[in-house]
Every structure is written in C-alpha cells, then in structure tokens.
Chain A
C-alpha cells in the first residue's frame, strides 16, 4: 500500500483545492480547516509549493494563496516529488551486494516504476475532472 507522508498529503490537498479555481485566493487557515490539517504543518508545505512556483502567496486583506501552475500540465508526480524520495535511482542500502538483495531490488524497482509512471500520467486537471464527474453522478442520482 502506498503511504504518503503527512507533508505530501497536505501538499496534494492544498494544491488541488487551489487548482480548482486558479483565480481564487484561499487562506492557509481555510485550507487547514477544510481538510483537518495542522496549520503549522500546512504553512511549511505552502512555503515549499511557493518555492516550486506552483502557488503564490497574496498579501493584504483577502490574501492567501493561489495556484499559478497549469493544471493541464502539472502532474501528481511533480507535487509528490517535492516531498517524497520517489523516482530516484536505485537506493538499495540494505542486503549488501548479495543475490537476494539484487533480486528483491528488481521487484521494488518494478513497483516504483509503475507508481512513478502512474503519478506522472495524472495531471491536476484530470484528477479534478474525476472529482467533477463523481459530483455530477451523485447529483444525478439524487435527482433520480
């Protein structure tokens, strides 16, 4: 099972919430409250996203953060890569130079390759569309 670190989860929630409406500014407090995140933790994550030029902070009354990337171009991998050690070269450290370690590393590399290619293929826009379709489906079911 893929387990993302807390910071990565915070980043994905924040980026996707902001990318839903790139023109909108949302305060860190509002994002933290909506997704039940630690405000301090989220603040650090938003700094990382700002450095990566995915979001920008807007000062003053009504300030907050807004998404400045292209939702059709930014993939989940680009967000996750900022906070996870993923997609790096062979990082086998245990097992020494043994046949068992080599064989196991081939399996873990295969899993990682699949995970990376999956994350690289899903843009924020694609994920947001999935969400919209789900909402539409729920609305349609309610109307029926």
Chain B
C-alpha cells in the first residue's frame, strides 16, 4: 500500500495532473518504486535498487523536480518520466530537463509516453520555463524517434566528452 504520508506530501507539492481513467498520470509515491524499478529493469536489463531509491529521494515530490508515473488498469505502472528545472548552465536561462522516461514494452504505441511527456511539459511550463530539453545517445533510435515525434529538435547546445583513461 502507498505510504499515506508520502502520498500527501507529494500531492501537496505536485498535484495529480491527469484525471483518473484508463491511464492516469500522477506524481510517483514511495510505493511505486518497486514497480518503477522492475519496469526499468525490464527495459534496460539492469536491476538498480540504489539508483531508484536515490531517484525517488531526490525527485519525488520536490519543488522544481518532477517524477511522474502512468498508472494503467489494475493500478499497474505503465511508465514513468523524470525531469527538473535547471538554470544558468553555460548561460542557459531556466529550462526544463527530461532525463528519464520509460514505458512498459508491452504497452508501447498506446500513447503512454506521449501522455507522460505532455504532462511533464505542462508542469514545467506552469513552473515558468519555456523550453524543455533532453540528452540521448546517438544510437538510441527508439527514444530519439519518440522525442522527435513530440516536436523536439536539435537545440543550441552540443554535448562534448573526453576519454580520461
């Protein structure tokens, strides 16, 4: 069962954003973490308990940080999205960042990702930012195609890296 205290705290910061129905988008609560972790494990093939514990601690119900889940029929978790507002990195005005999204592979093409992305964008916009960004691997065609289909395009920043070994 969800921890009622946690649910209350989360709801006060970031109220449910979609009406209940076949698919409800709402802020994640502690009790969702097992399902979210399992879903991520199915998608990535990696079980990351510490990572998800930390993600919830940092992004669940925090101001300017958004951790949403899509709840399907039977209260099952069909997907999740995580983002936050970042400001003044290399001169960039405050902007939204979406840095994690996952959809149950069996539920793809049911607009789960689209609804999650639309809701986090709505929350980010309500918080006052005008741009949402993300960063992906060049070969991550699945997510790249998804974000493109949502209207995202190449932005003014470029990611660089250096091999330190």
By a beta-carbon cutoff of 8 Å, the part of chain A in contact with chain B is 72, 75, 113-114, 117-118, 120-123, 125-126, 129-130, 133
The smallest C-beta distance from A100 to any residue of chain B, in angstroms, reads 21
The smallest C-beta distance from A135 to any residue of chain B, in angstroms, reads 15
Query: B118-153, CB under 8 A of A: which get 1 and which 0?
Result: 000000000000000000001101001101110100
B154 CB–A CB distance under 8 Å: yes
In the complex, which residue of chain B has the Cβ closest to the Cβ of A72?
Answer: B149
Cβ contact within 8 Å between B149 and A123: yes
Interface centre among A125, A126, A129 (most CB of B within 10 A): A126
By a beta-carbon cutoff of 8 Å, the part of chain B in contact with chain A is 138-139, 141, 144-145, 147-149, 151, 154
Alpha-carbon separation in the docked complex, A75 to B146 (Å): 12
The smallest C-beta distance from A121 to any residue of chain B, in angstroms, reads 4
Q: In the complex where A113-B138, A114-B138 touch, is A120 in contact with B149 (Cβ < 8 A)?
A: no
The answer, among B139, B145, B147, B151, for a CB contact under 8 Å with A75, is B145
13 contacts between A and B (CB under 8 A): A113-B138, A117-B139, A117-B141, A117-B144, A118-B154, A120-B141, A120-B145, A121-B141, A123-B148, A126-B148, A126-B149, A129-B151, A130-B151
**Inter-chain pairs besides A113-B138, A123-B148, A126-B149, 13 sampled, C-beta below 8 Å:** A72-B149, A114-B138, A117-B139, A117-B144, A121-B148, A123-B149, A125-B149, A126-B145, A126-B148, A129-B149, A129-B151, A130-B151, A133-B151
The smallest C-beta distance from B152 to any residue of chain A, in angstroms, reads 9
Q: Which applies to chain B's interface (DSSP): helix, strand, loop or mixed?
A: helix
Cβ contact within 8 Å between A123 and B145: yes
Chain A residue numbers with a CB within 8 Å of B144 are: 117, 120-121
Chain B residue numbers with a CB within 8 Å of A133 are: 151
Alpha-carbon separation in the docked complex, A122 to B151 (Å): 10
Alpha-carbon separation in the docked complex, A130 to B148 (Å): 10
The smallest C-beta distance from B128 to any residue of chain A, in angstroms, reads 23
In the complex, which residue of chain B has the Cβ closest to the Cβ of A118?
Answer: B154
The smallest C-beta distance from B105 to any residue of chain A, in angstroms, reads 17
The smallest C-beta distance from A77 to any residue of chain B, in angstroms, reads 10
